Structure 1
Amino acid sequence: MTIDKSIKACLFDMDGLLLNTEDIYTLTCNEILNKYGKGPLTWDIKLKLQGLPGREAGEKLIESYDLPISFEEYDDMNVKSQESKWPTSSFLPGVVELLKYLHEKNIPTAVCTSSNKLKFKGKTSHLPCFENFDVIVTGDDPRIPAGRGKPCPDIWQLGLKMLNEKFGGDIKPSECLVFEDGIPGVKSGKAFGAHVIWVPHPEAQPYLGDVDGILDNKGELLPTLQAFKREQYGL
């Protein structure tokens, strides 16, 4: 894939990429698993949950650990536990500096997260910087058809459409960077047509599999956003 040296927009996942909320998800899942004598949640399973809409991720977890509960029962316990922990969410290394730089350079930015609006608010209302994003798309946006969550490209397509409408531009997917931490998100970014900056959780590294095959010359793998080289993309 030819990298556009003059990137015109940056689109970001949120959980595990901007915020440490993947660790909070692990903590709340483990509380439920422990209640039924299961777990702990391991990264080989967790990688399959990342980027999925809430119900799909919950049902996959229930199936993976053979939990004797319905999704509704699981979701009720999970939501209550998560709501008490969202105020502890914080930015991951390199995030604030990058977002501040992009804002000062007037580079259009969007958050495209599978989290619904309620969870988004709980995770971010106590944090600065989110008001600097030009567009925010959540997973429950009615413009995203049912069953078209990541790894489908729809959420990125909507984010870019909103950016172009806001700025009266005609930015193309090939002129965008998509920042992701999960494999479904990386696949969705590739399907969208962008160059993908993949920043997985450090504990996920042993379970990533064929990194070169997943990226397919359409992105790069970084240990943290601190390692992102802006100048490589003309930013």
Structure 2
Amino acid sequence: MAPRTDFPPVRACLFDMDGLIIDTEDIYTVCVNLLLRKYGRPDMPWEVKAKLQGRPGPSATKLLMEWAQLPITVEEYARELYALHSVHFPTTQPLPGMVKLLSDLDRTRVYEVDQENGNPNTNKPHRVHIALATSSHESNFKLKTAHLQDVFSVFETHRRVLGDDKRIEPGRGKPLPDIFLLALKTINESLPAGERPIAPEECLVFEDSVPGVEAGRRAGMRVVWCPHPMLKKVFEGREAEVLAGHIGEAGDVDVHQLGEIDDGWADYYESMVDFPYEKYGITIPPAEVSAEGGVTV
């Protein structure tokens, strides 16, 4: 099929965290492998890790335990892994390009809503709202971000959706679309007066995991996939299937939620350095423009 090219400008960006904003994926691998070696098990291969990425903790733990066959309970595994996380997660750092990307998008708040018709004029530069949609539970989120408050301050507290958010039904984590739909809901419920609600197709999901890409596609949103190099290698030759959400991580779903191969809704990037804002209808204010003062354009 011919890829779609008539997308409306992006008005909201929804971000995964682990392996996308911060470099936690290699830390996760180190911690899991330390635990596996303790019980005489082999290191976790990337083919297994690929199935764990992006999922809520309980779901990922279940899959890992089924593969590893550790001689301990799920509760013991979770307790020992958290102890390792407590040591290693405070060392996390932002991945290349992410600090600039988040700062640039945050500065678009200087663009005011066109109050004459109650809608942002899409022919003019406009604000791009951002929200966090991570499968990390609150305890791990704090471990990973306490030393990076300057980075995560761009996400307003009410626009942070975590893996243990009580508004998400248990068992409805990625690769199902609920977390991204909820993140969009938090944005729409807190839009400035006069700004019309944002539609899913006006959203851009930033993901590194395959279940996360599938979740974004099933939410009816555009997706940017920026995977770890080893994850990219696992799916070598199947990139188009990943971008279409066709890997099948979510099982049977309504057909209207499925994407199509090369339909133009998703793109792969090696990193977030020099992100092409113009492709998505996003205009970034000049660097000297402060997000504190609004400008009418």
Q: What's the TM-score, normalizing by structure 1?
A: 0.96
Does 2:277 correspond to 1:230? yes
Deviates more, 1:147-156 or 1:165-174: 165-174
Shift of 1:211: 1.1
1:181 aligned to 2:208? Answer: yes
Partner of 1:124: 145
Deviation (angstroms), 1:93 = 0.4
Aligned to 1:221: 268
Amino acid at match of 2:199: K
SS in structure 2 at match of 1:69 = coil
What is the DSSP-based 3-state SS (H/G/I as helix, E as strand, rest coil) of the residue aligned with 1:213? Answer: helix
The letter of the residue matching 2:152 is F
Query: Is it true that 1:93 corresponds to 2:120 in the alignment?
Result: no
Q: Is the 8 A contact 1:62 1:69 kept in 2?
A: no
Runs of 4+ aligned residues of structure 1 deviating over 6 Å after TM superposition are none
Q: Extract unaligned runs of 5+ from structure 1.
A: none
SS at match of 2:82: helix
Alpha carbons 1:3, 1:233 under 8 Å: kept = no
Is residue 2:189 matched to residue 1:165? yes
Offset of residue 141 of structure 1: 0.5
- The question of whether the paired residues in 1 share the 8 Å contact of 2:55 and 2:135 is answered with yes
- The structural deviation recorded for 1:39 is 2.1
Verify the 8 A CA contact 2:8 2:201 in the aligned structure 1.
no
In 1, Cα distance between the equivalents of 2:272 and 2:59?
A: 28
SS of 2:153's partner is: helix
Match of 1:79 in 2: 82
Matched, 1:44 2:47: yes
2:137 is matched by which residue type in structure 1? N
Point out where structure 2 has 5 or more consecutive residues left out of the alignment. Answer: 110-127, 245-262, 283-297
Matched AA of 1:94? G
Q: Contact 1:3–1:195 (CA<8 Å) still a contact in 2?
A: no
Aligned residues: 235
**How far is the alpha carbon of 1:115 from its aligned partner?**
0.4
Q: Which residue pairs with 2:36 in the alignment?
A: 33
2:60 to 37, 57, 61: 57
Structure with a larger share of its residues in helix:
1
AA paired with 1:133?
F
- One-letter code of the match for 2:229? P
Residue of structure 1 in register with 2:129 after alignment: 108
- The answer to whether the Cα contact below 8 Å between 2:36 and 2:42 also exists between their aligned partners in 1 is yes
Alignment equivalent of 1:10, drawn from 10, 13, 17: 13
Q: Which amino acid aligns with 1:197?
A: V
From 198, 221, 224, the equivalent of 1:194 is 221
1:141 aligned residue: 165
* Rounded Cα–Cα distance in structure 2 between residues aligned with 1:204 and 1:129: 25
Q: Deviations over 1:92-117 (max 9, x none)?
A: 00100000100011221001000011
SS in 1 for 2:104: helix
CA distance in 1, matches of 2:129, 2:86: 31
- Contact 1:117 / 1:140 at 8 angstroms: preserved in 2? yes
The correspondence for 1:211, drawn from 239, 246, 264, is 239
Deviation at 1:54, TM superposition (A): 0.7
Distance 1:57 1:187 in 2: 16
Structure 1 residues 160 and 43: CA distance shift in structure 2, 3 A: same
Task: Tell me the secondary structure at the aligned position of residue 144 of structure 1.
Answer: coil
Q: State the distance in 2 between where 1:3 and 1:12 align.
A: 23
Supply the RMSD in Å over aligned alpha carbons.
1.3
Residue 3 of structure 1: CA displacement? 5.6
Structure 1 residue 125: Cα displacement: 1.3
Bigger mean CA deviation after superposition, 53-62 or 2-11: 2-11
